[in-house]
Amino acid sequence: MVTYILDASALVAYFLDRPGAVKVQELLKSGARGRSNILMSTVNFGEAYGFILRAEGAERATAMVSAIPPLPIRFVDATVHRCCRAAEVKHSYKLHYSDSFAAALAIENKATLVTSDSDFRRLGHNFPVLWLKP
């Protein structure tokens, strides 16, 4: 079964109907049908929440939180080990620390990263990425 890691931009695209929202919706349907695993670091969830809070306000950010439980997303906590792996990824690829959590989780799970953030191009061509926008 294929595993996907959502970064903050994927969740933002889905909730704000931005480019790539349809792709994220298809992945979530696949996850709901048991055809794929969808994971997300709690760090990246917090990043998405903060973005929506700044861009759309508290009401919209709270609505996002309320809409999460029925979605087939398994949230993965930032343990001490995962924080160290994220720091190593940040150091190796020169990513932002929060982005490094998504990349490290993808490495840990041999998964495909789902993003629209072009900073992830630094990971190279051998790293599986599902790009939400060209």
Sequential DSSP letters for 97-117: HHHHHHHHHHHHHT-EEEE--
DSSP letter for 128, please: -
Whether residue 126 is predicted with pLDDT greater than 90 in this model: the reply is no
Strand 73-76 relative to strand 112-115: parallel, antiparallel, unpaired?
unpaired
Q: 13, 20 in Cβ contact below 8 A?
A: yes
Residue 19 has pLDDT above 90, yes or no: yes
Q: How confident is the model at residue 131 (pLDDT cuts 50, 70, 90)?
A: very high
Q: Left, alpha or beta for 58 (phi > 0: left; psi -120 to 50: alpha)?
A: alpha
Beta strand 129-131 with 112-115 is parallel
pLDDT at residue 50 in the model: 97
**What pTM did the predictor assign?**
0.94
Residues 6 or more apart from 12 whose CB is under 8 A from it? Answer: 18, 48, 51, 52
Domain ranges of the chain: 2-131
d(CA 10, CA 21) in angstroms, rounded, equals 7
Architecture category of domain 2-131 in CATH: 3-Layer(aba) Sandwich (3.40)
Q: How confident is the model at residue 51 (pLDDT cuts 50, 70, 90)?
A: very high
